[in-house]
Chains A and B, each alone.
Chain A
Amino acid sequence: MSASSTAPPQNTPLPAPARWTRKDLTGLQDLSAEELTLLLDTAAAFKTVGTRNIKKVPALRGKTLVNFFVEPSTRTRVSFELAAERLSADIINMSASGSSLTKGETLKDTALNLQALHADVIVLRHSSSGAAQFLAERLEASVVNAGDGAHEHPTQALLDAFTIRERKGRLSGLHVAIVGDILFSRVARSDIFALTKLGAKVTLVGPSTLVPVELARLGVEISHDLDSLLPELDVINMLRVQHERQQKAYFPSLGEYTALFGLTKARAARLREDCLVMHPGPINRGVEIDSDVADSARSVILEQVTNGLAVRMAVLYLCNAARSGEWL
Chain B
Amino acid sequence: MSSKNTLFKNGRVLDPANRRDAIGDVLVLEGRIAAAGAAVPADAEVVDCTGLLVTPGLIDLHVHLREPGQSAKETIASGSKAAAAGGFTTVVCMPNTSPSIDSASVVSWVLEKARAEACVRVLATGALSKGIAGEEMAPIGALKKAGVVALTDDGRCIQNHELMRRALEYAKMFGLVVMDHCQDYSLVGKGVMHEGYWSTVLGLPGWPAAGEELIVQRNALLAELTGTPIHCQHLSAAGSVRVLREARLRGVPLSGEICPHHIALTDACLQGYDTNFKMNPPLRSEEHVEALLEGVADGTITILASDHAPHCGFEKEVEFDQAPFGILGLETEVGLFLDILVHKRKVIDLNRFVEMYTVNPARLLGLDSGTLSPGVPADITVLNPGLEWTFDRDASFSLSRNTPFHGWELKGRAVRTVVAGKTVWTV
Contacts and interface: CB of A to CB of B under 8 A. Distances in A.
Interface of A: 29, 106-108, 126, 128-131, 133-134, 148-152, 183, 186, 189, 212, 214-215, 217-218
A101 to B, nearest CB: 11
Interface string B197-208: 100111110000
Contacts of B155: none
A134 B273 CA distance: 8
A69 to B, nearest CB: 15
A39 B100 CA distance: 55
A215 B200 contact: yes
A108 B272 CA distance: 16
A151 B317 contact: no
A196 to B, nearest CB: 13
Contacts of A134: 273, 319-320
B312 to A, nearest CB: 12
Interface in B315-342: 317-322
Given A108-B318, A134-B320, A129 B197 contact: no
A128 B272 contact: no
B13 to A, nearest CB: 49
Contact of B204 (A29, A108, A126, A130): A130
A151 B203 contact: yes
A217 B198 CA distance: 11
A29 B272 CA distance: 12
B257 to A, nearest CB: 29
Contacts of B203: 129, 148-152, 186, 189
A129 B320 contact: yes
B404 interface: no
B196 interface: yes
Interface in B190-231: 196-197, 200-204
A133 B273 contact: yes
A133 B273 CA distance: 8
B318 A130 contact: no
A70 to B, nearest CB: 9
Contacts of A107: 318-319
Interface of B: 196-197, 200-204, 272-273, 314, 317-322
A123 to B, nearest CB: 17
Given A151-B202, A151-B203, A130 B197 contact: no
B314 A128 contact: no
B422 to A, nearest CB: 43
Contacts of B200: 183, 212, 214-215
Contacts of A212: 200
5 contacts: A108-B318, A148-B203, A149-B321, A151-B204, A186-B203
Contacts of B317: 106, 108
Nearest to A184: B203
B201 A131 contact: no
Nearest to A186: B203
Contacts of A215: 200-201
Given A106-B314, A189-B203, A128 B197 contact: no
A183 B205 CA distance: 10
A129 B273 contact: yes
What secondary structure prevails in chain A residues at the interface with B? mixed
A184 B320 CA distance: 16
A152 B200 CA distance: 11
A29 B203 CA distance: 12
A126 B321 CA distance: 12
A250 to B, nearest CB: 12
Nearest to B322: A128
A189 B201 contact: yes
Nearest to B206: A212
A217 B201 CA distance: 10
Given A150-B203, A189-B201, A126 B196 contact: no
Contacts of A106: 314, 317-318
Nearest to A213: B200
B202 A129 contact: yes
Given A29-B201, A130-B202, A214-B197, 16 more contacts: A106-B317, A106-B318, A107-B319, A108-B318, A126-B319, A128-B320, A129-B204, A129-B320, A130-B273, A130-B319, A134-B319, A151-B203, A151-B204, A189-B201, A189-B203, A215-B200
Nearest to A152: B203
A230 B59 CA distance: 63
A130 B314 contact: no
A107 B203 CA distance: 19
A214 B204 CA distance: 14
Given A130-B273, A133-B272, A134-B273, A218 B320 contact: no
A149 B321 CA distance: 10
Contacts of B196: 214
Nearest to B318: A106
Contacts of A130: 202, 204, 273, 319-320
Contacts of B272: 133
Contacts of B273: 129-130, 133-134
B202 A218 contact: no
A126 B320 CA distance: 12
A148 B320 CA distance: 11
B321 to A, nearest CB: 5
A134 B318 CA distance: 8
Contacts of A129: 202-204, 273, 320-321
Contacts of A133: 272-273
Quick one: which of B197, B200, B202, B319 has the most chain A CB within 10 A? B319
Contacts of B321: 128-129, 149
A290 B202 CA distance: 32
Contacts of A183: 200
B286 to A, nearest CB: 14
Contacts of B318: 106-108
The 3 A-B residue pairs with the shortest CB-CB distance, nearest first, are: A130-B273, A151-B203, A150-B203
Nearest to B197: A214
A128 B202 CA distance: 11
Contacts of A150: 203-204
Contacts of A128: 319-322
Given A128-B322, A149-B321, A217 B202 contact: no
B324 to A, nearest CB: 13
